[in-house]
Amino acid sequence: MSVGEYVGRRDTRELQKFRVLISSSQKPLCAEYGCTENVSLHGARIQTDRPWGAGTVVVVSSSVGQFLTQARVVYCESLSSDAFAVGVEFYVPTVAWLRR
C-alpha cells in the first residue's frame, strides 16, 4: 500500500526531516534510527533500513529525546532493497512534532 492509498488520513502532513528512534513496544531491543519524511498531528512517514509489520505497536522518539510517543504501523513500503517507508499513526495527537 502506498501513502496515497491510505484511506482515513485526518490531516495534511508537513515535510519535515529529522532523526528518530523507532522501537518495538513488545521487543524493546528491536530498534533502529530512521528519518521522518513528513509528520502531522496524527502520524508520520519514517524512512528505515528494515521493514516493520503493519499493526506493530512502536515507540517513536526524537534522537535528542525531546519527543516520545506510541504509534501503530499502518503500512510499510519497500523503497529499495535496503530502505523502507513506514507510515505510523500516533495513538495520541502529538503537537510537539509540528513545533520542531
Separation between Cα atoms, residue 9 and residue 12, nearest integer Å: 8
Residue found by looking up cell 534510527 in the block: 33
Which residues are bridge partners to 43 per DSSP? 89
Q: Give the pLDDT confidence score for residue 44 in this predicted structure.
A: 92
Q: Give the pLDDT confidence score for residue 98 in this predicted structure.
A: 59
Q: Which pTM was predicted?
A: 0.80
Which residue ranges make up each domain of the chain?
11-92
Mean pLDDT of the chain: 83
Q: Give the pLDDT confidence score for residue 9 in this predicted structure.
A: 54
Pick the closest to residue 20 from 29, 3, 32 (CA basis): 32
50 grid coordinates: 528494515
**Tens-digit pLDDT profile for residues 48-77:** 999 999 999 999 998 666 788 999 999 999
pLDDT bin (cut points 50, 70, 90) of residue 2 is very low
Write the DSSP string, 33-54.
Answer: EEEEEEE-SSEEEEEESS---T
Given 2.40.10.220, 3.30.1300.10, 3.50.50.60, 1.20.200.10, which CATH number is that of 11-92? 2.40.10.220
